[in-house]
Each structure stands twice: as structure tokens, then as C-alpha cells.
Amino acid sequence: MVKSSRRSAAAPSPHLEQGDRLTAAEFLRRFQAMPQIKKAELINGIVYMPSPVRIQQHGIPDNLIQGWLLYYAANTPGTQAAANTTVRFDADNVPQPDALLMIEHASGGQSRIGADGYLHGAPELVVEIAASSATIDLHDKLHAYRRAGVKEYFVWRTTDKACDWFTLEDDRYLPVKSDRDGIIHSQIFPGLSLDVNALLTQDAAALLAKLGKTLHKAAHKAFVTKLAKAR
């Protein structure tokens, strides 16, 4: 008597759902198996999946931030700007910040591109565009970035028409205030200036004009030279 053989059906890959509690490896496995999902993050072991994006609260501000950081990176060899990039911190945290600015690993940066194509380690500057001060960006995500060693963290609260810039000192995030002209100056990237009023009014021309004035000055030139020597 010949027994009929049956193929055991492969178990379907689990979906990625808001609120799942996963390790970084499992999170990425599920994320990669669902190409229809464009953004998902693992913060403190919990999956977060953002809601649809509104153009005035997020789309236009996001474009403005990307242009601002790209302008700086284009004039600062040894740095790279990136948008919506998955970053592997540790077994519990895989964020996907709206924007980041990093020193290239070959120039002494603290993050690197891994064999899996993801960024590993903390970029020097992370930017998030948030709806309000009640968002995760100013709470759980802020603490995850602090623990990972992100040196500067900037949150633009578009609905509140306000922004928060933090710098890492002694394992704490301390707020950075604008100068008397309403300009915030990065403490990690010389020459990177932020005209707060131009940002909040979404005046791209004024934002980039102010940045252009602080590029190629002595501190910025010295920074570019330092990055070149580190390669």
C-alpha cells in the first residue's frame, strides 16, 4: 500500500502591525516582507507605523528640511544628508527619522553603512517633523536617540509652529536656544545655521540664504579640512 505524500504548506510570514513587540531582527524581517509599507519604526521594542501624511503639516516641511540639509552637505565634503532612512541602533530600536545629517564613516563619523544596506549606529544629527509636543518624537523616540548617542536632535512641531533643538552633553539632551538674531547654530556641524523664523514661516529662500552666509567661513573651512585629513 502506497501512502500518499502531502506537501506541508509553508507558514505565512507574520505581518507587521502597530504595537507589535519585536526584536530588531524580527522587525526587519517582517518589514522587508511587506514592500507595500513605506515607513515603520521600532522604538524600545514596540512597532510604530505613522498615519497618512498631510501636505501642509508634513509634506512641505519635510521637503524644506531635506533641501536645507542637502545644501549643507553639498558644500561640506565628508558629510552626507539622507531622508527617511532606516537606522539600526540596537536589538530594540530601529527608527526611520525624517531626515539626518552624518559625518561619513571614512571621515570619522560614528555611524556606518552595513552589509545589509542599512545605516548602523547613530548619525550625528537627526531631524523629525512632528504634529505637536504630544508626539512620540519628544518622548520615547527622544530617549532612544539619546541612548544611542545622536549628538544633535531637532524636532519641528509644525502644528504648534515651534521647534526644539537639543544637543547631547553628559548623556543628557540640553536645549539649544537661538541667538539674538533668531538663528540656531549647530554645535557639531560648523556653518550649519537655522533661521528659525524662516523655517516656521516656510520661507525656503530666506532659510537657504541664511545658511549660505554661514558656509565657507573660518569655522566651516576648518571643519572641512579636518574631515579631509581624517580620510
Helix, strand, coil in percent for the chain, rounding step 5: 30, 25, 45
- Whether 202 is covered by a domain: the verdict is yes
74-121: per-residue pLDDT in tens?
Answer: 999 999 999 999 999 999 999 999 999 999 999 999 999 999 999 999
- pTM greater than 0.85: yes
- Whether 34 is covered by a domain: the verdict is no
Separation CA 128–CA 63 (nearest Å): 12
146-160: per-residue pLDDT in tens?
Answer: 999 999 999 999 999
- Whether 116 is covered by a domain: the verdict is yes
Q: Are 134 and 157 in contact (CB under 8 A)?
A: no
Nearest to 109 by CA among 153, 142, 78, 144: 78
When divided into structural domains, the chain yields a total of 1
41-57: per-residue pLDDT in tens?
Answer: 999 999 999 877 889 89
- Whether 10 is covered by a domain: the verdict is no
CATH of the domain at 185: 3.90.1570.10
